[in-house]
Structure formats: structure tokens, C-alpha cells
Amino acid sequence: MVTRLGQMQLGKNKLNNNFLEALKKHFEKNTIVKVSVLKSARENKEKVKEYSEKIKEELGKKYTTKIIGFTIIVRKWRRETR
């Protein structure tokens, strides 16, 4: 299986419905999406963790997240994860 990588930026509008819908659309063509959290959307590392948890909660159990610096890596799996 070919892993396709998409990229998005989380900016001053923060996590809203439009961002989450766009993220879901990215997974129609990609299995991994890198979400860069811009300075306008973050106060500290804890805020990035909050965004990561919220994204995972909104997308469902087929998705996992990993934080590297101020980037959230979101991956879609074929089956639900624990």
C-alpha cells in the first residue's frame, strides 16, 4: 500500500468545524496528514496536546495522532485502534 501524505496548517481560527471538515476531506486521498500548528494558534505545548486530543475525538477510533514539536501527525488505519 502506498502511503500518501497530506499537509494542513492550523492557524488563528483554531479548531473549528471548517478545519475538521477539511481534515476529513484530506483522508479521502491520504493516509497521513501533517497538521502544522502556527504561532497564532498556540500558546504552549499543552495547547498542541489539546488540539491533538480534540482531533482524535472528532475523527473516531480509526485515527491516531502523534506530536512532534508543533506538528500533529494524524494517521488513518483500516481498523479501529484501541
Assigned C-alpha cell, 26: 484530506
The reported pLDDT for the residue numbered 2 is 64
Give the mean pLDDT per block of 10 residues along the chain (82 residues): 83 92 92 94 91 94 94 89 67
Model pTM score = 0.89
Topology (CATH level 3) of domain 5-76: Translation Initiation Factor IF3 (3.30.110)
Of 23, 2, 10, 22, the closest CA to residue 74 belongs to 23
User: What are the residues whose beta carbons fall under 8 Å from the beta carbon of 70, sequence distance 6 or more?
Assistant: 36, 37, 42, 45, 48
Q: What share of the chain is helix, strand, coil (3-state, %, to 5)?
A: 35, 30, 35
